[in-house]
């Protein structure tokens, strides 16, 4: 029998999670208690997070998430109330982007800064501070670098293009997930996702997904891939609600994870 070897560890709240390899198999331990095992390290690590996350006081699972969303939008994604509050303005911003800075032009084009700035200003998805810093960047020497990198990332999701966005944004103290994911999400809402960190971490905690504990503020491809895993799982769980794209999924995550005090309005 071989000696147990810890190959990965993380904190989930106050619990220490460990992935251990022994005798050719992998075991997931939460606070020393075995919660998962199998032959694939990634699958065991994922299962460990899912099971351990259920002990969080905020956890209510996808059934609870669905119940919360439907308490505000009882007719779901395909309703006038939902469209007016969540979907229509995002579609309008997408149409504006596709018209003024289409993806195929932005990949290697120049001079798209003003058009892209107008698209950022078309929604309330970024904070006023982020928008102010964006104005300086998109009217400066880094504008073309940022827009081109965002377009390339939309097409291939590569680490190098995410890094290129970071390098364009850093001089303006605006290398934020909200900024980096906004354009890919609008250009390709079938494959990309907008990341609003606090609401998304809260949502992940409530449904028991590891994104909540593995999130990093720095633009890191592993974080984005983790986000897409959360999105894919959410899509599967909500299949019967017929989400059309990730605009619907992002709206669901925002409504469930935002948890505004006193939020009571119902939109039918």
% of the chain residues with pLDDT over 90 = 71
Instruction: Kindly report, residue by residue over 36-66, the tens digit of the pLDDT.
Output: 888 888 888 877 877 766 667 788 899 999 9
| 6 beta partners | 20
Cα→Cα distances 13→8, 118, 188, 197, Å: 16, 40, 34, 17
Mean pLDDT computed over 73-77: 96
| Least trusted range by pLDDT, from 68-72, 89-93, 224-228, 259-263 | 259-263
Instruction: Kindly report, residue by residue over 123-148, the tens digit of the pLDDT.
Output: 999 999 999 999 999 999 999 999 99
Q: Who contacts 17 (Cβ-Cβ below 8 Å, separation ≥6)?
A: 9, 10, 11, 28, 29, 30, 48, 49, 52, 213
Phi-psi region of 137 (alpha: psi -120 to 50; beta: other; left: phi over 0): alpha
Q: Helix (H) and strand (E) counts for the chain?
A: 14, 4
Instruction: Confirm if 119 and 97 have CB atoms less than 8 A apart.
Output: yes
The SS3 assignment for 26 reads strand
Mean pLDDT computed over 55-79: 91
Mean pLDDT computed over 61-80: 95
Question: Which pLDDT does position 22 carry in this prediction?
Answer: 84
| Average pLDDT in the chain | 91
pLDDT beyond 60 at 1 = no
d(CA 44, CA 234) in angstroms, rounded, equals 19
Instruction: Confirm if 101 and 110 have CB atoms less than 8 A apart.
Output: no
The side-by-side arrangement of strands in the sheet containing 33-38 is 5-12, 15-22, 25-30, 33-38
Instruction: Confirm if 52 and 30 have CB atoms less than 8 A apart.
Output: yes
How does 176-196 read in b/e, with b if 16+ C-beta sit within 10 Å? bbbbbbbbbbbbbbeebbbbb
Instruction: Kindly report, residue by residue over 243-261, the tens digit of the pLDDT.
Output: 999 999 999 999 999 765 5
Instruction: Kindly report, residue by residue over 156-195, the tens digit of the pLDDT.
Output: 999 999 999 999 999 999 999 999 999 999 999 999 999 9
d(CA 40, CA 33) in angstroms, rounded, equals 19
pLDDT beyond 80 at 238 = yes
Question: Which pLDDT does position 41 carry in this prediction?
Answer: 86
pLDDT beyond 60 at 262 = no
- What phi, psi does 56 have (nearest 5°)? -70, 135
pLDDT beyond 60 at 31 = yes
Instruction: Confirm if 101 and 112 have CB atoms less than 8 A apart.
Output: yes
């Amino acid at each position: 029998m071989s000696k147990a070897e810890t190959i990965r560890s993380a904190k989930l709240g106050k619990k220490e999670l460990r992935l251990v390899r022994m005798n050719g198999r992998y075991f997931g331990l939460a606070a020393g208690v075995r919660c998962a095992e199998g032959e694939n390290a990634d699958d065991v690590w994922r299962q460990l997070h899912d099971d351990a996350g259920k002990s969080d006081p905020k956890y209510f699972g996808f059934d609870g998430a669905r119940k919360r969303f439907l308490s505000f939008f009882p007719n779901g994604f395909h309703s006038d109330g939902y469209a007016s509050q969540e979907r229509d303005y995002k579609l309008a911003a997408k149409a504006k982007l596709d018209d003024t800075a289409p993806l195929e032009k932005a990949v290697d084009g120049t001079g798209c800064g003003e058009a892209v700035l107008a698209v950022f200003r078309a929604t309330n998805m970024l904070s006023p501070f982020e928008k102010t810093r964006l104005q300086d960047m998109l009217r400066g020497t880094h504008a073309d670098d940022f827009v081109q990198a965002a377009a390339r990332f939309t097409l291939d999701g590569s680490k190098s293009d995410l890094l290129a966005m970071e390098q364009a944004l850093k001089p303006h103290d605006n290398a934020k997930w909200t900024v980096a994911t906004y354009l890919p999400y609008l250009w390709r809402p079938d494959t990309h996702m907008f990341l609003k960190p606090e609401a998304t971490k809260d949502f992940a905690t409530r449904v028991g997904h590891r994104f909540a504990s593995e999130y990093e503020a720095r633009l890191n491809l592993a974080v984005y891939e983790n986000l897409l895993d959360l999105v894919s799982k959410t899509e599967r769980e909500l299949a019967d609600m017929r989400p059309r794209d990730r605009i619907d999924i992002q709206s669901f995550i925002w409504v469930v994870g935002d948890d505004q005090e006193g939020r009571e309005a119902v939109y039918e």
